[in-house]
Amino acid sequence: METVASKIGVGEKPEGHEGHGFFATRLDKVVGLARKNSIWPLPFATSCCGIEFMATMGAHYDLARFGSERLSFSPRQADLLMVMGTIAKKMGPVLRQVYEQMAEPRWVLSVGACASSGGIFDTYSVLQGIDRIIPVDVYVPGCPPRPEQIIDGVMKIQYLVENESLRRRDSAEYKAMLNKYGIE
């Protein structure tokens, strides 16, 4: 008879050298593994995509199993900004300020058509994509996207987090990208 405990798998260890009583690997692999499984998201939800995110955090989909148990509502304690819903141009400076208050390393997930491209609201008052004011790492399509799509977006962020070089944030390319947005 198969028990629940026998169905639970252990996460894959990073590549390295293993012997009797020891395991050695590179520091960036260990840091990537730790970061990947301890993302603290900051939900910035303004409309219907926020409702789908609430379903994603619920018991049926359980985003907590991906290491995102603790939602942070303080930008200084978050490393993943999840922008969900329509962002008005008046809200743009607030969103940018929240992004700038986050400590490095930080990632951005744009959830839904409105956050990604303005959605059906092609008007003077709606920002036509948050990538006009802050850099975006992963886009989740849909209007609104299903919880499975949001989970897929978080898994793509986890892949980026795990495989990012520890020195990427100090690179000239990264600093040039931030300068393009006017962020120091």
pLDDT at residue 4 is higher than 70: no
What would the CATH number be for the domain defined by 40-180? 3.40.50.12280
- Supply 74's token pair: 């303080």
C-alpha to C-alpha distance for 150 and 146, rounded to whole angstroms: 7
Q: Which residues partner with 111 through β-bridges?
A: 84, 140
With cut-offs at 50, 70 and 90, classify the pLDDT of residue 86.
very high
- Nearest 5°: the CA angle 15, 20, 23 is 30
pLDDT in tens, 49-79: 888 888 888 888 888 888 777 888 899 999 9
